[in-house]
Amino acid sequence: MKRAIWADVLFLAIAIVSACTREGERKTPGADTTTAQLPATTVSGTRIAVAHAGPPGEWQMPAGDYASSRYSTLSTITPANAPNLHVSWAFSTGVLRGHEGQPLVIGNTMYVITPYPNVAYAIDLTQQGQPLKWKFRPENAQQAAGRACCDVVNRGAAYADGKIFYNLLDGHTIAVDAATGRQIWRATMGNLARGETMTMAPIVVKNKVIVGSSGGEMGIRGWIAALDVATGHEVWRAYNIGPDRDVKVGPKFKPFYAHDRGKDLGSTTWPGDTWKTGGGAVWGWLSYDPELNLIYHGTSNPGPWNQDQRLGDNKWTASILARDADTGEMVWALQTTPHDLWDYDAVNENILVDLPIKGVTRKALVHFDRNGFAYTIDRATGEVILAEPFVPMNWSTGIDMQTGRPKMVAEKMTSQGKKVMDICPSLEGGKNQQPAAFSPQTGLFYVPTNNLCMDFESHAVTYIAGTPFIGALAPEKGGPGGYRGEFMAWDATTGKKVWGIKEPFPVWGGALVTAGGVVFYGTLDGWFKAADARTGKVLWQFKVGSGVVGNPVTYTGPDGKQYVAIYAGIGGDMGLLIAGDVAANLPYDVRERGTTLPDLARWTSWGGMLFVFSL
């Protein structure tokens, strides 16, 4: 059934692309705007679960709010005036690596965290030329650069209590005085010698900084931890793999599906002690629902990728987990890809929105998984309300609604010694770290996606601490339809795409949507774009020079104007591993063009800029 839908979507896409080509109305070089004739979604009954943090003109949290909505009530910039956007000012971070993440704006100060070596800048927005208030250069072990799987990125800081909290690549969490730039505390959280690096953006919940580590490709044992805001002392730490005591599974644990209930599933679903090096990192985004007092996070792929070395469900890797914010105790779990065979991490953001579904308002969690399914989940219980493919996919025919598990396609299942061809989506996922946004005005989610497929061949691999624990080669290629990414609007009450903007490259930057009815995103080939949130019509674009892998934010400046800020600096997994040939700063590391995106280096090189736009 899903395959039939995919065929229909493909046919439609091809038809639209050819129609646009005939009309010669391309607004974007290499990209097509397609608008399906669907009515606007009703918005009554929709609500972002948690309000924007701080005044509407500030951006105090990585996603703007605990709900991870990336929605702003600022409305000066509209579809009518967006074509008049222009660069207001810019700032070089001094670092040429992948600029994932986003700045924060608190009061009249903007805070920027760079990729390794993780310099923090406080920028004074009140003065012309935007001088620095301070610059903080942390101690940060150089070895970390070579232990990070996917470039030396940092996804941003959190703010509370006059402090900026962020993670260092070498496995530390630090607190910096927001006023002075002095380090207040420094906590050692990850073991770099075991391949634990830190790249994710923390959130602060009730005087605790919540953090996790990267290292799913290094055979780490994933965890999430809470640190005291004032002292940096660890309040709790929960592993995602292992016996119940370590995973914090106890009386509060009430998973929706029967197969997720049982003792010590975090270790018994692994052969022997393979769970000790089984991955399950927390390197993605965190959400929090104060009413339920639950923190939501995903876990990464299991390690190694060679599935023969870890037969079983491999809980709780590739899972969405809900934990008690005070204690870290697990409350529910949904393993989106049991016994993952394709590197489908489940770390993508969980957007907390109340949605009217079949006449009932549901407390929903919406999640666009690497595995290609868009999940609408009951965030109180972990029940899958609906799950539909949002990108071309062929490894599963759909989700079994009795169990929440994907139905498998045998010929796309990987195993050692078998080369499986043309698996969609590729290991980069239908979507990766690039976060989506939600607008209560339209009721739609704005989703940056990838359209890639891969071949997959695994081999035996030995665990050696501090080295990759992978055991597979998986070359990637463009997916069906002649485009490699699409920025789309998604209706999570029906599981349907409403409109899409086809892009020549995977859309590796995140989304921002505003009450002005404008949605913003950047592309790997270095365009920053504004589109009409209702129709998907591209209203404006500006070439920022380097590919965008970061997330736009919007704020009100001291002059009362609305500004939109974005990093330009290609990198991350797509920029470094897939397109390492875009680099130009290392004379001893010159790379041949990769097959996945052989044309990308024509459009971009590494960069490290912050651009700020206004009317």
Partner 1 sequence: MQARSFAELGLVIVAVCAPIACGGDSSAAQTPTSKKTVQPSAAATTRYVDGGDSMRFVAHDENLPVGFPASGRPLTLTNPYEGDKRALGVGAQLYVTYNCIDCHGADGSGAMGPSFADGRWHFGGAPGEVFESIYQGRPDGMPQWGGRITNDQIWMLTTYVRSLATKDLSTDNFTGKTIERTGH
DSSP category for residue 610: E
Cβ closest to partner 1, residue 149 vs residue 210:
149
Catalytically annotated residue among 118, 167, 301, 451: 301
CB of 487 to partner 1, least distance (A): 20
Cβ closest to partner 1, residue 77 vs residue 597:
597
Cβ closest to partner 1, residue 86 vs residue 602:
602
CB of 138 to partner 1, least distance (A): 17
Cβ closest to partner 1, residue 127 vs residue 143:
143
Amino acid letter for position 84: N
Rounded CA separation 425/451 (Å): 7
Question: What backbone phi and psi angles, to 5 degrees, belong to 8?
Answer: -65, -45
Residue 3: count of CB within 10 angstroms of its CB: 13
Cβ closest to partner 1, residue 251 vs residue 588:
588
CB of 34 to partner 1, least distance (A): 27
Rounded CA separation 366/355 (Å): 10
CB of 195 to partner 1, least distance (A): 10
CB of 410 to partner 1, least distance (A): 24
Cβ closest to partner 1, residue 448 vs residue 495:
448
Nearest-Å Rg of the Cα atoms of the chain is 22
Rounded CA separation 565/110 (Å): 10
Q: Which residues of 504-514 are buried (b: 16+ CB within 10 A; e: fewer)?
A: bbbbbbbbbbb
CB of 187 to partner 1, least distance (A): 22
Length of the chain: 615
* Cβ proximity of 444 and 535 under 8 Å: no
Q: Residues interacting with partner 1, by CB under 8 A?
A: 142-150, 194, 217, 273, 276-277, 343, 426-428, 459, 461-470, 472-476, 573-574, 577-578, 580-581, 586-596, 598-599, 601-602
Rounded CA separation 498/38 (Å): 6
**Residue 217 designated active-site:** yes
Residue 215, both tokens: 């290292």
Residues whose CB falls within 8 Å of the CB of residue 89, separated by 6 or more in sequence, listed in order: 129, 130, 612
- Distances 471 to 272, 318, 330, 463, 541 between C-alpha atoms, Å: 19, 18, 31, 10, 41
CB of 587 to partner 1, least distance (A): 6
Rounded CA separation 48/67 (Å): 7
Question: What backbone phi and psi angles, to 5 degrees, belong to 95?
Answer: -125, 130
* Cβ proximity of 76 and 100 under 8 Å: no
Catalytically annotated residue among 170, 217, 349, 388: 217
DSSP category for residue 383: -
CB of 362 to partner 1, least distance (A): 35
Residue 88, both tokens: 């207001």
Cβ closest to partner 1, residue 394 vs residue 458:
458
Cβ closest to partner 1, residue 179 vs residue 590:
590
Closest by CA position to 500, among listed 16, 7, 8 = 16
**Residue 343 designated active-site:** yes
Residue 293: count of CB within 10 angstroms of its CB: 15
Catalytically annotated residue among 58, 313, 340, 343: 343
* Cβ proximity of 312 and 271 under 8 Å: yes
**Residue 273 designated active-site:** no
CB of 391 to partner 1, least distance (A): 16
Name the E strands within 75-230: 86-92, 104-106, 109-113, 120-124, 132-136, 158-160, 163-167, 172-177, 183-188, 203-205, 208-212, 223-228
Cβ closest to partner 1, residue 13 vs residue 507:
507
Residues with catalytic function: 217, 301, 343
